[in-house]
Amino acid sequence: MRILVTGGCGFIGSNFIRHILSRYPDYSIVNLDALTYAGNPENLRDIQDDIRYTFVKGRIEDAALVSRLMERVDSVVHFAAESHVDRSIVDAQPFLMTNVIGTYTMLDAARKASVRRFVHISTDEVYGALGDTGRFDEETPLRPNSPYAASKASGDLLVRSFHETFGFPAVIVRPSNNYGPYQYPEKLIPLMITNLFEGKRVPVYGEGKNVRDWLFVEDNCRAIDLILHNGRTGETYNVGGDGERRNIEIVREVVKMMEKDEASITFVKDRPGHDFRYALDNSKIERELGWRPLVDGEKGLEETIGWYRNNEWWWRPLKERLYSESKGFWTA
């Protein structure tokens, strides 16, 4: 199989490419990435000379480029997205361009090229926020609460419309909060790990009571692999980690694992529209595809801490870039 992966130099995309090439020796991958701030070629340094792997620098909004690439592949896995909520609050335009216009461009080109499968990677944030109980299932109405989530929900609706209007062979994947190796250090878990390595404090929004469902990235890659090969066309699949934790609980656990004390934690002003709780019902993907998360929270955090400990060459330049951009949240 020949797969076009968009955003393959990002966190989840790079882990997925590595997963596919290690599992399927006869597959090849074309990676289309614009190399914006979170797209890092170093994420794939270990496979850059693999003859099955081709990198193309470009934007998913570039219709001519995307159309040429579609003629070379059988399937598409579409990760490319602007994805940081804080940045969307400051300036939503890049999110609209990439997550809406870019997704439309991809869909249009893929339909015209008659690709066999189009897997669109979304997020649990499109559902909005939960109270203290319940879980989102695939039939939950979309109620996004941030510009980022609204842009992703818009992309989801475009994907749905292409399936309903044209019979286009698309599938939507909505994972919960991923963590693991190669995650850009503006996100909570890599931010606190690298801050602690640097002797800096860990910033926590509000009182840290917001609840997230944490999913180790390799578990997510296994799920996307199954959906690519066996998911039902036109369907949406939630992919949750069965790992609900309050943010402050995750922070305290990492602080303890890294042999620091709670003086390392600092609470900062909460961001606008901060969703209280996300939790996903995995029943559908478990029932239809036999998937369930294999990596529990403690094991996943230990592996993640170990990876950042052993790969300072990777994250140190990225942290320096964050420091140069902001004197606020990231440098607390």
The residues assigned a catalytic role are 124-125, 148
Burial class (CB in 10 A: 0-12, 13-18, 19+), 272: exposed
Phi–psi pair at 137, nearest 5 degrees? -115, 180
Q: Which is nearest to 251 in space by CA: 187, 322, 181, 183? A: 187
Question: What stretches of 113-206 show up as alpha helix (H) in DSSP?
Answer: 147-166, 188-197
Using CA atoms, how far apart are residues 28 and 44, in angstroms rounded to an integer? Answer: 15
Over the range 11-31, which residues count as b (16 or more CB within 10 Å of their CB) and which as e? bbbbbbbbbbbeeeeeebbbb
Side-chain-facing half-sphere of 316: CA atoms under 13 Å: 7
DSSP code at position 270: P
Contact of 226 with 289, CB cutoff 8 Å: yes
Residue where the block lists tokens 């969307």: 88
Using CA atoms, how far apart are residues 260 and 156, in angstroms rounded to an integer? Answer: 42
Q: What sign does the CA torsion over 130, 133, 137, 141 have?
A: negative
